[in-house]
Amino acid sequence: MADRAFRAGLARLTGGLSPAAMAAIWSDWAVHLAASPGKQALLAHKAGRKLLRFQRFALSCALTGGEGEACIAPLPQDRRFAHEGWRKPPFNLMQQAFLLTQQWWWNATTGVRGVSKANERALEFGARQALDVFSPANNPLTNPEVLERTMREGGANLVRGAANFWDDWARMVSGRPPAGVEAFRVGENIACTPGKVVYRNRLIELVQYAPATDKVRPEPVLLIPAWIMKGYILDLSPHNSMVRWLTEQGFTVFMIYWRNPGPEDRDLSMEDYRLMGPMAALDAVQTIVGPAKVHAAGYCLGGTLLAIAAAAMAREGDDRLASITFFAGQTDFSEAGELLLFINESQVSFLEDMMWEQGVLSAGQMSGAFQILRSNDLIWSRMMREYLMGERAPMTDLMAWNADGTRMPYRMHSEYLRKLFLNNELAQGKFEVEGRPVWLRDVRTPIFALGTETDHVAPWRSVYKIHNLADADVTFALTNGGHNAGVVSEPGHPRRRHRIRTTHHDARRLDPDAWMAAAELREGSWWPSWAAWLADLSGAPVDPPRMGAPGVDPDALPDAPGSYVHMK
């Protein structure tokens, strides 16, 4: 007890990162590097070569008035040095020196014989994050774009930036949302698709949405968002609401809204989430629409829970699902992206101690981890724009949703980290439901799986692994965009494209690169492709079902999106 209390207090100081885990990663690298004179000599040689390349570049710039050919280019995704000013002295020298240093540290932290692959990836990631702090792009005195703006505006940009900084600081200290969020009001201009709350238990409110067509498909769609996020990401503004769009395509739509747990919910388990989530929702949906099968779709962690539920249903002979859809939902966590870098026994036990004391993992603790994964885009680029350039990015519905955080209960999150991330039990057929393991290979229901190209949370190659796990026809779609913007990709969204291909259950499985080469490339949103897939698995249109369960007055039901979504 004393040990857990001590580590919980330490976790508050370290932001939830285990010092023991960090020390183990560093020592693994340092000890093996110390015992590798060949690697040391190679690094010294590389340092000398990089110094010579930099000197040649500097001399070339001196002789050509700053027009020397660069000796290293930023990575394609690195947009920090896109401004023209970075190609003029002395800023081009700073940029090149930083990129060469970054490249050398990559060489230093990788390829050390004896270092475990997991520790190597974590160390390389950590070194990159540390170096980003010292990027010349983050310093107002070494960033030509900031200096140019400051001179042009006489420093007014820095005054605005200071005001932005203090406003953000005051909001953070007082627990208020970011500036501009107040323009987006849940139930008014976002999450405003008409509907009713037709079922409620301790963990969920189930919303049934009003039909938008005279006839609907007999098989309803049940949307299962992740409880790590507020469900209305699938019902944002009217123009980009997946819920509204699905009703317009002639589907009856139900969606789960998860309750935001508090410390009193610390003992809720993954099994509680399965039973009170998708299983209870399925029962409620069929009470309303009758015996028709259901198209179930899970987003992110909601997709993982749906996979567990579907495997358990297959084991028991429960055939109520007409189809299964995963939006960036993982079932095999062996390549779960950069989130997996620091998931080991030391880190998980450290997080468990922190959650044990709090009862939950807070929204701030989760959002901080996700921001670190994309620090260039979500931290440094934002700070440069808002605090140095004095520009406030316009608040969007997706940004407002992202600021509306949720918590996760202690027991559930501990089981999630251990059973899925740490031990990968679902992919190995070891994840237990009601005391017995479930196998995804038992699932025969047609599957539609969506991956997004730049997903840092659920990398598309990880999502793609469903091909190797379920004995079902799998239609896989890969869209451009990230974990959220790639999913919220309504028809008419500019510059959207996706690849799609169906692999039948008895066909040869392709590796991800071969799939990429074979898949059909389509311009535009993936939503119509998914709706067409759903329609092919649906019956002829019928009259819409009644709103709510038999014997219940629809007018007496609470309006969508319900009350759980408003819980802070």
Which residues are tagged catalytic? 300
**Nearest residue to 488 via CA among 447, 526, 523:** 526
Q: What is the spatial distance between Cα 353 and Cα 414, in angstroms, rounded to a whole number?
A: 10
Amino acid at 248: E
Q: What is the spatial distance between Cα 307 and Cα 463, in angstroms, rounded to a whole number?
A: 12
Helices and strands of the chain, counted as H and E runs: 20, 14
Q: What are phi and psi of 455, to 5 degrees?
A: -80, 120
Q: What is the spatial distance between Cα 523 and Cα 286, in angstroms, rounded to a whole number?
A: 36
**Cis before residue 90, ω within 30 degrees of 0?**
yes
Q: What is the DSSP letter of 178?
A: P
Strand blocks (E) in 388-507: 408-409, 432-433, 436-437, 447-452, 474-479, 497-503
Residues paired with 503 in a beta bridge: 474
The continuous run of DSSP H or E covering 199 comes out as: strand 195-200
- Residues 6 or more apart in contact with residue 25 via CB below 8 angstroms: 119, 122, 123, 126
- CB burial of residue 253 (10 Å; 0-12, 13-18, 19+): buried
**Nearest residue to 194 via CA among 211, 181, 213, 215:** 211
Do 478 and 344 form a contact (C-beta atoms < 8 A)? Answer: no
Tokens read off for 474 = 């799998």
Pairing assessment for the beta strands 294-299 and 221-224 based on DSSP bridges: parallel
Residues paired with 437 in a beta bridge: 432
- DSSP of 61-94, one letter per residue? HHHHTS-PPPS----TT--TT-SGGGGSTTHHHH
Q: Which residue has the tokens 């519905």?
A: 397
Tokens read off for 14 = 């370290």
Do 529 and 522 form a contact (C-beta atoms < 8 A)? Answer: yes
